[in-house]
A and B are shown apart, each in its own frame.
Chain A
């Protein structure tokens, strides 16, 4: 593609740049690619700033996961006495936490991202999609950290990788698409209707209760079809299938549902975001 030293602005060099009312910008995707360094720099800015001057730094991401894991294991595994199907309960929970925490971080990060970067939006041009994408980038980095934690924990519990693990990138991609679709929708909606500042935490709270994070879907067979309507159910189950290799059958219905909803959300979210993008600088 572009040479290493070519600047984003140069991407438009081949043709004249025309600025006109309501013009669908043909350069958009090329611009987005040309500004990829900005995506990386904004992501690293957010990570650096988040942990700057904290004593424990990035380990906070891990500490949060570990504490959550202990609490969930205690509540669902011990108090409620739910079955893990022969898998150590903490691992079951952690495998569910992985996609769930990623989804929450991406959703809350991206929906607030444009508002908190409004100074950039009103002062300089770049494809606005970079901003929610960088929030999803931050969530992805934290996700990878927790994934490393999972590998450690898995080996600690004496469970070694099976061939199922090879399919994990595929389901990470589904989780990414879902987070992107929902994130980009909420980002654009939050710019337009500030009400979504209050709706997002609510979605996350409710989402937690209808997603099988602290328990296995195996313990609620009668609610299976209903649960599958939540796209996170399929993703969490697929993660568990990959990581736990617990002999549960692969749940095609759940993951198909997830893929369909993710694709729909991502495409429609992109459409809505692009539509809103034109007036963002005026209303932010």
Chain B
């Protein structure tokens, strides 16, 4: 635990009440309640009572500490409480219980371009959005040129933002946010937007402010590569509670391996050899191995059972594949009617990203069944590459390059 924490979060909980009558949504409810209580003596108790109130704890007993310059990555499924936690830290909503102490000013960026007005020009929106994020007018004026330079939209400054492309919009919005100078920066999934090059620029900016200026950042993202590269520590939230806390790599690994990485397939109408299931072993994944298990069933013995496996990028184009026939003499199983073939790739040379698995089934002479993009999985590389260009540019393969220089 850090010696001098800049943020101390002690058992924060947030309860929402679900149910129609809870907030007295309409005046009618309120009046009806008044009438009910006034006439209660004349009614059977059962009629006036019985307003079902359901409690929902969006957060329960969340505690952590951060010190200066630390970057916390928060992971979890949708609805796990990540956004609620950020909203409480940003003072948008109050916790139901618990206490947070912050030593320093905080700014939050829960959305790109909050308060941008489409009718106003880029210039007008810079001032408006800056003020909404907590900057003074003079401060914005001082940083104005820097913001515009970062956003790369100089030419369109006096055009209403409704005429901007989405890329320009995001660039301008992020440029403003990037020039906030809080000691604590709270960022929700906002880097998922914009083109790859600009995302890269933004991530660099975040690293820069944490490393050189000692800012503390809390960061929610589904982009495990981004989390891995800029966060030191992590929290995995599951159903409002902290499921794991510690180095970001461990949290990501734990989080990613809870997903159901198995697909089962029905028996086809005609009686032919078919794939029954495809599964990616999560524990092997955590150790950096891609282990695919393909279940099959056949009306006759497959001689030998041949399984093909292809790893594709999340967009579906193949990266690496193999099958039993390619294995040659090293793989000579006996004829089988039903079973599971396991294909394992040790030291998977992949960057952190989402991938898809396709499976094929056949024997020595023919192919019988195929399941394209049967299961998906998130692979978290243990390796960290500073200054890594986006995967769209360099591809998913993470091979060991040797570098040398010959001086002339």
Interface residues of A (CB under 8 A from B): 4-10, 12-13, 16-23, 34-35, 37-38, 40-42, 45, 48-49, 52-53, 119-126, 192-196, 278-279, 281-283
Cβ-defined contact, B106 with A9, below 8 A = yes
CB of B366 closer than 8 Å to a CB of A: no
Cβ-defined contact, B115 with A281, below 8 A = no
Number of interface residues, chain B, beta carbon within 8 A: 52
A22-B94, A123-B110, A124-B90 are contacts. A4–B24 as well, Cβ < 8 Å? no
CB of B137 closer than 8 Å to a CB of A: yes
Cβ-defined contact, A38 with B99, below 8 A = no
Q: From the candidates A8, A13, A17, A45, name the one contacting B117 in the complex (CB within 8 A).
A: A45
Cβ-defined contact, A13 with B105, below 8 A = yes
Looking at A23, A34, A194, A281, the one whose CB has the most chain B CB atoms below 10 A away is A281
Cβ-defined contact, B30 with A48, below 8 A = no
Complex interface: chain A residues within 8 A of B87 (CB):
122, 281
A19 to B98, CA, bound (A): 8
Looking at A6, A21, A35, the one whose CB has the most chain B CB atoms below 10 A away is A21
Complex interface: chain B residues within 8 A of A7 (CB):
105, 134-136, 139, 181
Cβ-defined contact, A19 with B134, below 8 A = no
A203 to B103, CA, bound (A): 47
Show 18 A/B contacts (Cβ-Cβ < 8 Å), sorted by A.
Answer: A9-B182, A17-B106, A18-B102, A19-B91, A19-B95, A19-B100, A20-B100, A34-B136, A37-B136, A41-B127, A45-B124, A119-B114, A124-B114, A124-B115, A192-B24, A195-B26, A195-B28, A196-B27
Interface residues in B30-65 (C-beta closer than 8 Å to A)? 30
A119 to B118, CA, bound (A): 14
A48-B119, A123-B92 are contacts. A4–B100 as well, Cβ < 8 Å? no
Complex interface: chain B residues within 8 A of A125 (CB):
90-92, 108
Q: How far in angstroms is the closest Cβ of chain A from B162?
A: 11
A17 to B106, CA, bound (A): 9
The interface bits of chain B over 81-117 (1 if a CB of A lies within 8 angstroms of the residue's CB, else 0) are: 0000001111111111111111111111011001101
A9 to B131, CA, bound (A): 11
CB of B403 closer than 8 Å to a CB of A: no
**Closest chain A residue, CB of each to CB of B188:** A123
Looking at A53, A124, A281, the one whose CB has the most chain B CB atoms below 10 A away is A124
Looking at B24, B87, B98, B136, the one whose CB has the most chain A CB atoms below 10 A away is B136
CB of B156 closer than 8 Å to a CB of A: no
Q: How far in angstroms is the closest Cβ of chain B from A48?
A: 7
A46 to B189, CA, bound (A): 29
CB of B202 closer than 8 Å to a CB of A: no
CB of B23 closer than 8 Å to a CB of A: yes
Cβ-defined contact, A124 with B132, below 8 A = yes
A7 to B133, CA, bound (A): 10
Q: How far in angstroms is the closest Cβ of chain A from B110?
A: 5
**Closest chain A residue, CB of each to CB of B104:** A13
Which A-B residue pairs are the 7 nearest by beta carbons? Answer: A9-B105, A19-B100, A125-B91, A38-B131, A195-B27, A37-B137, A17-B102
Q: How far in angstroms is the closest Cβ of chain B from A260?
A: 27
Known: A7-B181, A12-B105, A193-B27. 7 other contacts (CB 8 A): A6-B136, A9-B106, A18-B101, A37-B136, A123-B111, A195-B27, A279-B94
The interface bits of chain B over 281-315 (1 if a CB of A lies within 8 angstroms of the residue's CB, else 0) are: 00000000000000000000000000000000000
A10 to B132, CA, bound (A): 14
Complex interface: chain A residues within 8 A of B102 (CB):
16-19
**Closest chain B residue, CB of each to CB of A194:** B26
Q: From the candidates A9, A42, A192, name the one contacting B23 in the complex (CB within 8 A).
A: A192
Complex interface: chain A residues within 8 A of B98 (CB):
20-21
Complex interface: chain B residues within 8 A of A9 (CB):
105-107, 134, 182
Complex interface: chain A residues within 8 A of B115 (CB):
119-120, 124
A8 to B135, CA, bound (A): 6
Interface residues in B140-155 (C-beta closer than 8 Å to A)? 142
Complex interface: chain B residues within 8 A of A38 (CB):
131-132
A222 to B97, CA, bound (A): 59
A121 to B24, CA, bound (A): 20
Cβ-defined contact, A278 with B142, below 8 A = no
